[in-house]
Amino acid sequence: MKLVNCTPHAITLIVDGQEVVIPPSGMVLRAAEVVAAEELLAVNLDGEQLSVPVRTLSFQQVQGLPPVEEGTLYIVSAIVAQAVKKAHPERTDFVVPHDLVRDEEGRVVGARALARPA
């Protein structure tokens, strides 16, 4: 199985005690934001009254979608994976890093698995 990293940063998989770094492929997939509505919410923060916009947001239209290539999985962000699943439910070749490993300061340093969107 071939893994193609479609994110702008390296992905480290930590499996069976080994760390494998998958460098970015240069193909970065992103989903377009679509704002459907907005309302203003009156919020009191530390005694100050603010009007905070609350938007209805979805992610769609992944540009530059690669073709299905047998034996290949594309590693993408969760947002991209969900947008692809919604538009192309037959595509099972998009995965996201899962079961994240963090350092002492809470930064993600790797993932123990890959996951497909439901």
DSSP secondary structure of 2-71:
EEEE-SSS-EEEEETTEEEEE-B-S----EEEEEEEEEEEEEEETTEEEEEEEEEEEEEEETTPPPP-TT
Averaged confidence pLDDT in the chain: 95
What band does 60 get if pLDDT is binned at 50, 70 and 90?
A: confident
pLDDT average, residue stretch 10-15:
97
pLDDT average, residue stretch 64-87:
96
Residue 34 to residues 60, 74, 88, Cα–Cα distance (Å): 7, 24, 18
Q: Beta strand 31-45 with 48-62: parallel, antiparallel or unpaired? A: antiparallel
Q: Assess whether pLDDT exceeds 90 at residue 61.
A: no
